[in-house]
A and B are shown apart, each in its own frame.
Chain A
Amino acid sequence: MRIDVMKTYKLFINGSFPRSESGRVYELKDAKGKFLANPCFGSRKDLRESVVAARAAHHGWSSATAFNRGQILYRVAEIMQGRSEQFIAEIVAQEGATPASAKAQVQSAIDTWVWYAGWCDKIDSISGSTNPVSGPFYNFSIPESLGVVAIFADGKPSLLNLVAAVAPVIATGNTAILIANEKNPLCAITLAECLATSDVPAGVINILTGKADQFVSWAGSHMDIDGIDATGLSNKEVIELKELGSENLKRIYSFNEALSTKRMTNFMEIKTIWHTVGI
């Protein structure tokens, strides 16, 4: 008889898979109470390392051409397609979903990558503008990426929620720290394995697992995080996040739809340029 080789679920920081600095893990059980895995209990220092990695990756990622970013997002979809079976098994185990609905979820998650991949080189044209002004000036408004965005992923459907949150954030040139849903972290770690093999530069997406309510205060007070997608948090947690985030005017938003340009434009900064005419 052979003993299965079980996967150690680790974090994903700066393109590598470290264990948590805390050295701790928590026990994850499936819908029926059976042991599933021991995901890492991410610590404050893990978040700090992720922010450092995300900040370092931001310049390169945001100055890559939009077309190139689109190709890379599409590449993630390609790699996820090949991993479908593993995602389906994990969704069935951790969400208690039927195989058919799990399959449908994986497919729409992959399609979500493709949808946002298409937006990469179009969003600037849609959200930027030339403005009529009453003076001898050309006046342009150009959207730029915001910087480092932390994402609190929502629960079920776990994979779709992850992709719908992270794809639009990085599509526009931001770098991301994805904090997996505490009860549904398996897909997040498997997604990390897809990202690691799909040309997404190290540090552009960092994935942490652990207790979301702890990450709220750490992320909210971190001065080097520019925006937060708080979709996966309760109202009480969002209030705490907004109080802490006011220190450096973090942009904090929650979203309902998976496919929405708001998810991109809310994490962009508009730069307006005045240029004299006739000189």
Chain B
Amino acid sequence: MNSTLLPNYSEASLRNFLKTLPPVDQVGASARVEMLATRSIKTSSKNWAIDLAIRMVDLTTLEGADTPGKVKALCAKAVYPDPTDLTVPSVGAICVYNDMVKIARDALDSGGGKHIPVAAVTTAFPSGRASMEVKIQDTKDAIANGAGEIDMVIDRGAFLAGNLGLVFDEIKTIKEVCGSDVHLKVILETGELVTLDNVRKASYLAMLAGADFIKTSTGKVAPAATAPVVYVMLEAVRDFYKMTGTRIGVKPAGGIRNTKDAIKQLVLVNEIAGPEWLDPSLFRIGASALLNDLLIQRMKMRDGYYASPNYVTLD
């Protein structure tokens, strides 16, 4: 919470601040991201970008059918994405449901992955439809089990109904539960916010309330991390840094399935937010299938011929 932007925590002052934000030029945003998507990436940069993207992956499994075995296998993969090539870096984090946190933490600790944090989705993910007590308890549970990062969802219903104070208070409360050691990522679920103006407003709301990261989506709603949405969020963190001197991270999640998409995201980060954001501490990609494609492309760059999905794991 930055006192220079908001005189107090009241809904009125929040509303007044959000009114000062200029509207997003939707056509301009689409045109700009389309233009940036045509950048050609040369070989040496591509090698660098692939390794950076691997380090940025929040390797995710958020299925009702998740088993302890699946989570453990995913943890092993997070530490050594390609066991035949130890030059491949570890991923940024493991992202699981609340009840899998302990299993993931133990598997990482015993498998050489002490440096990899476990991110837990909480606050009644993915809908966010629960009482505040439940959301707080959900978060406390995850932290007690060893979660180093919390991915919370905002109450989109409240946001769309204009109940901005409620959304703000929820994020602030969860950040208090997290404290300064546990990173809080706030999922805006941009697919349900409808307009880019709403994405911009929600981004500032989350940043003012104390988010360490703003995240596009749960992965359960389409469209998820579209390029214009990521563009607006990157602009928001850049401008927020100019206003307050605090760098907030961005995490697109959902729909980024191949290396080409991931590199396009990195181009956006570099061009919009700036090269400081090209780091796993400020940019993450929530994905599951993406990692395999990054590994396949890495093999191709190494061996000089096109690789096959037969040489990576089935997740």
Q: Which residues of B sit under 8 angstroms from A48, Cβ to Cβ?
A: 306
Q: Which residues of A sit under 8 angstroms from B305, Cβ to Cβ?
A: 221-223, 247
Segment at the interface with A among B56-64, B200-208, B307-315:
B307-315
**Distance, CA A10 to CA B309, complexed state (A):** 29
- Nearest A residue to B311 via CB reads A223
Interchain CB contact (< 8 A) of A222 among B306, B309, B311: B306
Give the interface centre of B304, B305, B306, B309 by most chain A CB atoms within 10 Å.
B306
Chain B, residues 262-298, CB within 8 Å of chain A (1/0): the string is 0000000000000000000000000000000000000
Judge whether A224 is part of the interface by a CB distance below 8 angstroms.
yes
**A55 engages B306 (CB within 8 Å):** no
**Distance, CA A222 to CA B309, complexed state (A):** 12
Q: Which residues of B sit under 8 angstroms from A248, Cβ to Cβ?
A: 308, 310
- Nearest A residue to B307 via CB reads A223
- Nearest B residue to A220 via CB reads B305
**Distance, CA A247 to CA B308, complexed state (A):** 12
Q: Which residues of A sit under 8 angstroms from B306, Cβ to Cβ?
A: 48, 51, 221-224
Number of A-B contacts (CB under 8 A): 23
Chain A, residues 218-229, CB within 8 Å of chain B (1/0): the string is 000111100000
Q: Which residues of A sit under 8 angstroms from B309, Cβ to Cβ?
A: 55, 224
- Nearest B residue to A224 via CB reads B308
**Distance, CA A55 to CA B296, complexed state (A):** 14
Q: Which residues of B sit under 8 angstroms from A223, Cβ to Cβ?
A: 305-308, 310-311
Chain A, residues 48-91, CB within 8 Å of chain B (1/0): the string is 10010001000000000000000000000000000000000000
A141: min CB distance to chain B, Å: 22
Give the interface centre of A51, A221, A223 by most chain B CB atoms within 10 Å.
A223
Q: Which residues of B sit under 8 angstroms from A221, Cβ to Cβ?
A: 304-306
Q: Which A residues from 205 to 241 make CB contacts under 8 A with B?
A: 221-224
- Nearest B residue to A244 via CB reads B305
- Nearest B residue to A45 via CB reads B306
Q: Which residues of B sit under 8 angstroms from A51, Cβ to Cβ?
A: 306
A206: min CB distance to chain B, Å: 15
**Distance, CA A248 to CA B299, complexed state (A):** 14
Q: Which residues of A sit under 8 angstroms from B307, Cβ to Cβ?
A: 223-224
A133: min CB distance to chain B, Å: 30
- Nearest A residue to B258 via CB reads A52
Q: Which residues of B sit under 8 angstroms from A55, Cβ to Cβ?
A: 309
**Distance, CA A248 to CA B305, complexed state (A):** 12
Q: Which A residues from 17 to 55 make CB contacts under 8 A with B?
A: 48, 51, 55
Q: Which residues of A sit under 8 angstroms from B304, Cβ to Cβ?
A: 221
B215: min CB distance to chain A, Å: 29
**Distance, CA A148 to CA B311, complexed state (A):** 16
A89: min CB distance to chain B, Å: 37
Q: Which A residues from 233 to 266 make CB contacts under 8 A with B?
A: 247-248
- Nearest B residue to A51 via CB reads B306
A25: min CB distance to chain B, Å: 23
B167: min CB distance to chain A, Å: 40
**Distance, CA A221 to CA B304, complexed state (A):** 9
Q: Which residues of B sit under 8 angstroms from A247, Cβ to Cβ?
A: 305
A175: min CB distance to chain B, Å: 14
**Distance, CA A162 to CA B306, complexed state (A):** 26
B261: min CB distance to chain A, Å: 14
Q: Which residues of B sit under 8 angstroms from A224, Cβ to Cβ?
A: 306-310
- Nearest B residue to A219 via CB reads B306
Q: Which residues of A sit under 8 angstroms from B310, Cβ to Cβ?
A: 223-224, 248
Q: Which residues of A sit under 8 angstroms from B311, Cβ to Cβ?
A: 223
**Distance, CA A51 to CA B306, complexed state (A):** 10
Q: Which A residues from 110 to 141 make CB contacts under 8 A with B?
A: none
B183: min CB distance to chain A, Å: 36
B306: min CB distance to chain A, Å: 5
A184: min CB distance to chain B, Å: 27
B305: min CB distance to chain A, Å: 4
**Distance, CA A224 to CA B310, complexed state (A):** 8
**Distance, CA A224 to CA B297, complexed state (A):** 13
**Distance, CA A221 to CA B300, complexed state (A):** 11
B21: min CB distance to chain A, Å: 42
**Distance, CA A223 to CA B304, complexed state (A):** 11
Give the interface centre of A51, A221, A224, A247 by most chain B CB atoms within 10 Å.
A224
A93: min CB distance to chain B, Å: 35
**Distance, CA A221 to CA B299, complexed state (A):** 13
Q: Which residues of A sit under 8 angstroms from B308, Cβ to Cβ?
A: 222-224, 248
B298: min CB distance to chain A, Å: 13
A266: min CB distance to chain B, Å: 20
User: A222-B308, A224-B310 known; 14 other A-B pairs, CB under 8 Å?
Assistant: A48-B306, A51-B306, A221-B305, A221-B306, A222-B305, A222-B306, A223-B305, A223-B306, A223-B307, A224-B306, A224-B307, A224-B308, A248-B308, A248-B310
21 A-B Cβ contacts within 8 A?
Answer: A48-B306, A51-B306, A55-B309, A221-B304, A221-B305, A221-B306, A222-B305, A222-B306, A222-B308, A223-B305, A223-B306, A223-B307, A223-B308, A223-B310, A223-B311, A224-B306, A224-B307, A224-B308, A247-B305, A248-B308, A248-B310
> Which 6 residue pairs spanning A and B have beta carbons closest together?
A221-B305, A224-B308, A223-B308, A222-B306, A223-B307, A48-B306
